[in-house]
Amino acid sequence: MIARLRGTIDSIGDSSCIVDVGGVGYLVFCSTRTLGALPEGVVMLLTEMQVREDAITLYGFATSSEREWFRLLTTVQGVGAKVALAILSALSPDQLIAAISSQDKAALTRAPGVGPKLAIRLVTELREKAGVMPGGGMAALPMAIPKGHAADALSALLNLGYRRAEAEAALAGVIEQCGETAALDVLIRGGLKALAK
């Protein structure tokens, strides 16, 4: 079992890269999020190896939370490695936690290969597990939106075109920093700043 690779990037494709480790080039399939985060020079990728009758395939991840989510997603019927990587390309671990916890099926269908039926299955099967899964640093669970400024700020972000799960996660982080009594403009500005990252 290959758990990680340390080497230099030989080339990067649409959904994979070749990592040169001591003169041996390993083909590693990755999410676009991981491919976009690859630095120049020496890289270290966490990997998941799948052995099948006709192929041995390596999947690479920039973070352990992304790898854990890949493992969990592939336990759901209808989610193979390709669809799991598509989901991880569309949503970060934090956004996945928020989308599943808030049953935001529309956020999940942004990933290629995820239709309404599969989105329902993902929400149903992973809802209880999502809360204990690792995130990437933002507030793990979407906040329960109270009335008042937080509700107004959420409405403003939704009207600007942001998805509910993303907007809730962003506002949860702002409320954690500034407190529940923060002014409306502070919440909106903070939410926009978090969403821009």
pLDDT at 146: 47
pLDDT in tens, 120-155: 999 999 888 876 676 644 333 334 444 577 878 888
Q: Which CATH class is domain 65-130?
A: mainly alpha
* Exposed/middle/buried for residue 132 (C-beta within 10 Å: 0-12, 13-18, 19+): exposed
Neighbours of 31 (CB within 10 A): 25
pLDDT at 41: 82
Residue-range domain boundaries for the chain: 4-61, 65-130, 149-196
Domain at 4-61: CATH code? 2.40.50.140
How far apart (Å, rounded) are the C-alpha atoms in residues 54 and 75? 21
pLDDT at 134: 67
The residue ranges of the chain whose pLDDT is under 50 are: 136-146
pLDDT at 46: 93
